[in-house]
Every structure is written in structure tokens, then in C-alpha cells.
Amino acid sequence: MYLITFAIVAAFIFSFHRDRRSFLNPALLMLSIIFAYLSVSRILYDLGYNSACQSLALSIFFGVQGLIVLGSIFLIFNGCILLKREGFSKTNLVSLFLGILVIAFYAVSFYYFTADTKAFSINTLPNILFVIAVYSYMIFGTAFISFLLYSFIYLATPKKKIYDFIIIHGAGLRDGEYVTTLLKQRIDKAIEAFHNSSNPNIKIICSGGQGSDEKVSEAKAMANYIASNAEVPMNRVLLEEKSTTTYENLLFSKEIGEELVDKPKFLFVTNNYHVYRTGAYAKKVGMVGDGLGCRTAKYYIPSAFIREFIALCVKIRWVFAAFYAILISGLFLSYGYLLF
């Protein structure tokens, strides 16, 4: 047990040191926490503290469940605030929907284990559906907690000050030509990093194309804001006006940087909830650099982190497909006889 724990923790430290942007890091972090807990429990058990070991397990189990329930209630409350301030949209329903879904799961679980009914005991389909629900809760719940914990670690990691280029990721424009409050925060953070840089030749790349409802490109709108509100020489501001996605922001900005500097290093600036996924994309395009997050309105953060998690799940959907293949195999072995 101890050797396995040491190996997993060492693997996390090595992977984190080698590349903080790796998709593997959140999984290794969660495995390190789980096996560290198992090792502590084993130590208590070997020392004869059986009751302490049991108390620790129960405290952690019920403590985590309690936090999840409270978190779900908070998500429902937060979702209502988001809808009130930002208006109705599918994306603004995310936190509200997830909070209701988790509360509903706990309600069904309570009914399953406590109700005096034969609905589950004599019917196969409800049992199968409940197993799928519990399995999904465990897989996606563990993955989300891993993502959340690692995102905070990634954000808190000190950033270097030697970069060749600072990339500002675009966002939608106000009235088709002016930066929004969200985009202004990104620009201001990039300007702060520009002035704090130890590289006298550092340049800013404003990255963002022109949407169908926009009068100018997002890159041009950002450059206009910098020219009017910051003490940055405009010959140090470059425009990347072709991109339409986060991936393209990085890919096209990297191409610009490589035309000017041999083996350039980048600092990409976006909102704090968006930094880790952007870093993962940066790794995919072969970009050397770090991510820097700017502040986001507090009421907007829960929904934003959930949407980032969903986007990452889509990106690594083959991993979840493998887990569900295992589940289907297990269900077939358990209930397959009913098909024949």
C-alpha cells in the first residue's frame, strides 16, 4: 500500500514538474489524495486505532456528502442569481440544472435505501437505472472534483516573468466594436503582465477574429482599447484577426510568434476559470508557456467552471466511454441471463 502511494505521488510530482498542463495531472492528484488517505487509515489500523480508523472513514464520507448537498443548494441559488443578472440562456441554466440534478440523485438514493417498497427489489429495470445513476455520479463527481482542485493549483502556481509574447484571448464585443467588461479585465491583466515582464522586447498579441455581428475584429477592438487606455507602445502590439475559437487563438498566435522569434515563449491571458483548459490546448499546439487568469464576477464563476468541465469531458470523451464500456460489461454479466 505504502509503495503504491509513494509511486502515485511521485508520478504526480514528476508529471506536474514536466508539464503542468497535462490532462493526466488532475487524475494523478486525485489518486494521490485517495491513496494517501488509505495509507493513513492503514497506519491507524496497524497501530491498533481501529475506532479512530472507522471514525475517520465515516467523518470523511458524511462530510463529503454534506458538502456536496450544500454545494448543490448553493448552485441552485447561484443559478437563480445568474439568470436574474445575465438573463435567460441555455448556458446560464447550467449551474441551476446541475444543483437540481444532484439533489434529485440524493432524494432517489434516500428513497432506494429507506423506503418500504418492492419497486426496486422485484423490478430489474429500476435497479439497472439506479446502478447507472450511481456509477455516473461517482465517475463524473470524482472527475469534477479533480478538475476543480487541480485548476486552483494551476492558477496558484507562480508564473515566470520571461516571455516573448503575451496573448490576450478575445471575447464578444459590445455594440459590435467595443470591449466588454469581461474582455477589459483580460486586457488590463495582460497590460499588468507586460509592465512586470523582465523582457524588454516583449510584445502583446491581441487574438480574435470578427464575428458575423461585429463591426471590427476582436483583436482590433482590443488594440483600440490599449491605444486609448494604456501606456504601451503600439509597435509592441500585434493583431491576430483570423481565430474563432480558443484553439485557433493559440495556434495562429503561435505562428505569429514563431515568425518573429526563434522558439518563443508565451503567456496567454484569459479568465481564471478558463486558464487550465486553455493551457491544455496550448500543449496540444506545441506552445511553450503559461496561463494567467484574470478576475471574474463571483456569481459567474460556478457556471463557468462547470461549462469548462463539460468542454474537457467532451475533449477526453474516450476515457468516459471506456468507463461506461466496463459498466455495460458488468451489467451484462449480472443481468444478461434475462435476455435469453
Residues β-bridged to residue 196 = none
> 113 and 229, same structural domain?
no
Residue 54 is assigned to a structural domain of this protein? no
Nearest to 202 by CA among 213, 210, 211, 193: 193
Same domain? 173 vs 260: yes
* pLDDT higher than threshold 70 for residue 195: yes
Segment 319-332 shows an average pLDDT of 84
User: Are 69 and 106 within one domain?
Assistant: yes
Of residues 337, 326, 269, the one with CA closest to residue 131:
326
Residue 119 pLDDT exceeds 60: no
Look at residue 55 and tell me if it is in a domain.
Answer: no
Calculate what percentage of the chain has a pLDDT beyond 90.
Answer: 20
Residue 83 reports pLDDT greater than 60: yes
At 254, is the pLDDT very low, low, confident or very high (cuts 50, 70, 90)?
very high
Answer yes or no: do 169 and 287 share one domain: yes
Q: Give pLDDT, residue 120.
A: 57
Question: Does 214 lie in the same domain as 330?
Answer: no
**Residue 315: all three cell numbers together:** 475533449
Question: What's the structural domain count of the chain?
Answer: 3
The letter for the amino acid at 128 is I
Domain that holds residue 16: 1-48
**How sure is the predictor about 258, in pLDDT bands with cuts at 50, 70 and 90?**
very high
Q: What is the pLDDT of residue 335?
A: 67
Quickly state the pLDDT bin for 237 (edges 50, 70, 90).
very high
Same domain, 171 and 254: yes
Query: Which residue(s) pair with 203 in the sheet?
Result: 165
What is the pLDDT at residue 273?
85
Nearest one of 137, 136, 142 to 33, comparing CA atoms: 142
Comparison of pLDDT for 117 and 188, the residue scoring more: 188
> Considering the domain boundaries, does residue 56 fall inside one?
no
- Cα–Cα dist 238/261, whole Å: 14
Note the pLDDT of residue 337.
59
Q: What's the confidence (pLDDT) of residue 117?
A: 59
**Does the residue 246 lie in any domain?**
yes
217 shares its domain with 279: yes
Q: Is the sign of the CA dihedral 307, 143, 63, 112 positive or negative?
A: positive
Residues 249-267, mean pLDDT to the nearest whole number: 91
**pLDDT of 118 above 60:** no
Contact 269, 246 (CB under 8 A): no
Does residue 73 have a pLDDT over 90?
yes
Average pLDDT, the chain: 85
* 47 burial level (CB within 10 Å; 0-12, 13-18, 19+): exposed
- Tell whether the torsion through CA atoms of 250, 159, 165 and 223 is positive or negative: positive
* pLDDT over threshold 90, residue 40: no
Residue 226 lies in a domain: yes
Domain-located, residue 182? yes
pLDDT in tens, 196-233: 888 889 999 999 988 877 888 999 999 999 998 888 88
Looking at the structure, tell me whether residues 77 and 12 fall in a common domain: no
276 Cβ contact list (under 8 Å, min separation 6): 21, 147, 150, 151, 154, 155, 291, 308
| Local confidence band at 298 (pLDDT 50, 70, 90 cut-offs) | confident
Report whether pLDDT(112) > 60.
yes
